[in-house]
Amino acid sequence: MTQQITLIATSAMGLESIVANEVRNLGYNPQVENGKIMFEAPVSAIPRCNLWLRTADRLKLVVGKFKAETFDELFEATKALQWERFIPEDGAFPVSGKSHKSKLFSVSDCQAIVKKAIVDRLKLKHGIAGRLPENGALYKVEVALLKDVATLTIDTSGTGLHKRGYRVAQGEAPFKETLAAALVLLTNWKPDDLLIDPFCGSGTIPIEAALIGQNIAPGFNREFVSEKWNFISSKLWEEALEEAEDLANYEQPLRIIGSDINHQMIEISEGNAIEAGLGELIEWKQMQLKDLAIKEEGGYLIGNPPYGERIEDEAYVVHLYETLGSIMRKNETWSVYILTSYKQFEKAFGKTATKRRKLFNGFIETTYYQYYGKRKY
């Protein structure tokens, strides 16, 4: 298949511009909407984007988009789409759905109608009289209705793109790898700079920084559902993997430190780093924040500290932020980037942020407080 296809990279709220920039860097021209980045590309973009997108949630193939205000319109327009281009006669295609501000608000009915329309189309085009076997590769179809416009897609990723494959263990409040990567990409950090995360938890921010620093494709060590699709040749996957291997800079030295008060989290971080192939590249320390000693200028501190979501934790969190502010005010050449939902962070830290950005950590609305360090010279 050589013709262009339409793809959607889905995004957490607030990360759309970062995902769009990643798509642009891969050579495609993105159009940004709330929560999604749409672009035209050759089929080879499916392997490349799945391997390289650090901050997208998943990659979807758009089969069609049309207005549908009645079930008949939904059925006929769905059946008119060229599903046989993508789904073979033995393909398994469960249908999920969602509807927002649309006349067709019954998601279960929409799913059933789309399923029947695709079945009728595939039986006709593949010349099958009886039931479709659906015992082959998986093609997860979604019908999404927004303001009476239906978008029909097939998920190319399978497991979400935040699942890099290196997390063998995690703490009580796991932090998505995609968001961790975004926090790093939103800074001016370069691989030669010292980076410290004093609240490292299971090590997600330091590990994502190391992958970025050595330009390692985040999806290099995992599988994708579209690897089994017959319209994407194995050669395209091989070429994408070869490109990722060629572009990785395994010789790039890194200075990344992750620390945490909990020794168990340090053990988990070490295990995750080893699984990611970064075992010797990140330094892990079990220590309290008050013991953080900064001995050089111009580094970066990136952290996702406790938020104090429970009332009984607020005093501890305020003390933590006050301690961090006291340390960093003595190191004015350092840039500090902190993600938290605590509304009074700047007051506790003792300084107004240079810049703020609203982001969502799961369902928690947070602010990314950014403090730019003074120049070293």
What order do you get walking across the sheet with 194-197 strand by strand?
282-286, 255-260, 194-197, 300-303, 335-340, 364-371, 355-361
Whether 157 shows a pLDDT value over 70: the answer reads yes
DSSP state of 368: E
What order do you get walking across the sheet with 141-146 strand by strand?
31-33, 36-41, 5-10, 58-67, 149-155, 141-146, 95-100
What is the structure's pLDDT at 1?
Answer: 54
Whether 116 shows a pLDDT value over 80: the answer reads yes
Whether 250 shows a pLDDT value over 90: the answer reads yes
Average pLDDT over residues 3-16: 95
DSSP state of 136: S
Instruction: For strands 58-67 and 5-10, give the pairing.
Output: antiparallel
What is the structure's pLDDT at 311?
Answer: 62
Average pLDDT over residues 190-213: 97
What is the distance, to the nearest Å, from the Cα of residue 12 to the centroid of all Cα atoms in its chain?
8
Q: What is the pLDDT of residues 27-78, one digit of tens each?
A: 999 999 999 999 999 999 999 999 999 999 999 999 999 999 999 999 999 9
Q: How confident is the model at residue 200 (pLDDT cuts 50, 70, 90)?
A: very high
37 three-class SS: strand
CB 123 within 8 A of CB 27: no
Write down all domains in the chain, each with its CATH number in brackets. 5-155 (3.30.2130.30), 177-218+251-371 (3.40.50.150)
Whether 377 shows a pLDDT value over 60: the answer reads no
Q: How confident is the model at residue 309 (pLDDT cuts 50, 70, 90)?
A: confident
Q: How confident is the model at residue 317 (pLDDT cuts 50, 70, 90)?
A: very high
Average pLDDT over residues 95-122: 97
Q: What is the pLDDT of residues 11-39, one digit of tens each?
A: 999 999 999 999 999 999 999 999 999 99
Q: What is the pLDDT of residues 205-227, one digit of tens each?
A: 999 999 999 999 999 999 999 99
Q: Report the candidate in 231, 219, 165, 246 with the shortest Cα–Cα distance to residue 49.
A: 219
Average pLDDT over residues 127-152: 97
What is the structure's pLDDT at 173?
Answer: 65
Alpha-carbon gap, residue 65 to 94, rounded angstroms: 19
Whether 2 shows a pLDDT value over 70: the answer reads no
What is the structure's pLDDT at 60?
Answer: 98
Whether 312 shows a pLDDT value over 80: the answer reads no
Those residues with Cβ within 8 angstroms of residue 329's Cβ, 6 or more apart along the chain or in another chain: 350, 351
Average pLDDT over residues 346-359: 97
Of the candidate ranges 1-10, 53-62, 228-237, the one whose mean pLDDT is the lowest: 1-10
Percent of the chain beyond pLDDT 90? 93
Between vectors from CA 16 to CA 370 and to CA 248, what angle results, nearest 5°? 80
Residue 270 neighbours by CB distance under 10 Å: 15
What is the structure's pLDDT at 170?
Answer: 75
Tell me what the pLDDT averaged over the chain comes to. 95
